[in-house]
Amino acid sequence: MLQPLKKNPKFTPRRGPVVLAILDGVGFGKYVDGDAVLAANTPELDRMLKECPMTRLKAHGTAVGMPSDADMGNSEVGHNAIGCGRVFSQGAKLVEEAVETRKLFAGETWKKLIANVLQNKSTLHFIGLFSDGNVHSNISHLKAMVLEAKAEGVHRVRIHALLDGRDVPETSALEYIDPFEAFLAELNKEGVDYRIASGGGRMVITMDRYGANWEMVRKGWEVHVHGNGDFYQNAHEAIVDLRAKTGAIDQDLPPFVISDDGKTPVGAIEDGDSVIYFNFRGDRSLEISAAFEEDAFDKFDRGRRPKVLYAGMMEYDGDLHVPQLFLVNPPEIDRTMDEYLCATGVCQLAISETQKYGHVTYFFNGNRSGKFDEALDNYIEIRSDVVPFEQRPWMKCAEITDKVIEAIESGKYRMIRLNFPNGDMVGHTGSMEAVLVAMGALDLCLGRIREAVKNAGGVLVISADHGNADDMYEHDKKGNVKLDANGAPCRKTSHSLNPVPCIIYDPESKNEYRHELRDGLGISSLAATCIELLGYEAPEGYDSSVLDFN
């Protein structure tokens, strides 16, 4: 049980609440060309950036627990860092260490999976995101596991490739598929049978989250497990043909199944097989895990449900213990801001729409599913629309804003945190035009919240979990925009490595802290910042806040 926070003698709490607005995917662009945040019509954000205390925070690489500063941040690790006020080694780094030290292969789960296949003379299946984006997975981890499986005598391996084009360039799938097919071909010369068996775009099959669209998971189940789908001789052929037919980028390509004779899939999942879901990030791993593990499953008709030994790369939900078997232990995150505030008797609200609801709750609370205190914690989910984000780029920001203003005016909450997903979810589509609309809609909402905070005598803290909308075009090493065959800018759909804002709008400021905020910090500083603005001292071990008290 945590002890209540101590009062901060240097700061008098304001009349109203502290509101933390996380503008998902909104950063400061490195280049003018392709910076949709800069190009959008955002008078409210522009004014606050100019007039309010403001600094830039690191939101990628080692500042959020990734292996190196060449690694993008993401919403999962970003909300972990914001919510717990410290930096923990995250999935990518933990898995990388487990592979390099061979701890993964010495673990009981790996041994069980291999023993099951050897005993049953069955197949080892791998399902996961087929890229090196290092946000949900890394193909190097898959390659290491395939090599180890061969070394341990596994004869038959099947790989079910989820195409990325979101954390990596939008049409880069063949840059991963072709070398991997060549890698498998070399292994097969030594008498094994290792093949890619199925695949499809990550936003079409398998990788849904927060129950937004279970139809994606059903489609994935059909192609991975049953081998039902459009047949192709190999993955290269499938990608080339489906691109020509649909014009879709990788993340949106329809599913496909590999078949030698056009009738029988080469890699349907059967009784006695072992299955590894090799994504390490939890939010887009829970639903496919439920489809494999839950007996009382009612989200779609699974048809034939094979009896397999299933494992995830990590434990995706530490409270519910999903999946039952996993290869690498997740970070053990404790002493989160929410938990401390509950121990201090502070009433809180967390709100977003479905696409980011789990981030302001589960990830913000250190990968914990439940509330710390039923009486003090309140969560609100606005159901996201199931449409392509570029077709409705405003998403649910107005509805979120309505609820936030209602909460501010109620006087019930001392701390409110919200996530606007627009900059990230629309940014991933690669549509510059849609992101400009998204940012404009977001700015209108910020203006409404700012006015409500002013009237209530509260404080508004504006920041982000990582960049995205600030970097919509691919650039070469000289900083020039890359052009496609038609002379148009090459779209970028992945997160950026750019810093994000930290703005303090404090209309009833008594000048307790300097207008110039501390710089050189990461987004983990936001927890201490909010705690101090609530009138308390940050807990021991928390990263420093941006506030420099006079």
Give the residue numbers annotated as catalytic, written as ranges: 75
The pairing of beta strand 256-258 with beta strand 193-201? antiparallel
CB-based contact 442:423 (threshold 8 Å):
yes
**Which residue is associated with the tokens 């397999």?**
308
Mention every residue, 6+ apart, whose C-beta is less than 8 A from residue 141.
Answer: 95, 96, 99, 278, 280, 313
Alpha helices in 52-203 (DSSP H): 75-84, 91-100, 103-106, 108-120, 139-151, 173-188
CB-based contact 289:316 (threshold 8 Å):
yes
State the virtual CA torsion across 411, 416, 422, 424 in degrees, nearest 10. Answer: 180
> How many other CB atoms are found less than 10 A from the CB of residue 185?
11
The DSSP code sequence of 109-121 is: HHHHHHHHHHHHT
What is the total residue count of the chain? 550
CA angle 78/82/86 to nearest 5° reads 100
Taking the mean position of all CA atoms in its chain, how far away is CA 205? 17
CB-based contact 54:504 (threshold 8 Å):
yes
CB-based contact 277:113 (threshold 8 Å):
no
Alpha helices in 214-295 (DSSP H): 214-221, 235-246, 286-293
**Which residue is associated with the tokens 């928390």?**
542
CA 418, CA 500: separation in Å to the nearest integer?
A: 16
CB-based contact 273:122 (threshold 8 Å):
yes
- Number of alpha carbons in the 13 Å side-chain half-sphere of residue 488: 7
Instruction: Look at residues 546, 481, 549, 489 and name the one whose alpha carbon lies nearest to residue 82.
Output: 546
CA 289, CA 280: separation in Å to the nearest integer?
A: 12
CA 353, CA 363: separation in Å to the nearest integer?
A: 15
Quote the DSSP letter at residue 526: H
Mention every residue, 6+ apart, whose C-beta is less than 8 A from residue 151.
Answer: none
The DSSP code sequence of 407-440 is: HHHHT--SEEEEEE-HHHHTGGGT-HHHHHHHHH
- Produce one character per residue of 81-100: b if its CB has 16 or more CB atoms within 10 Å, e if not: bbbbbbbbebbbbbbbebbe
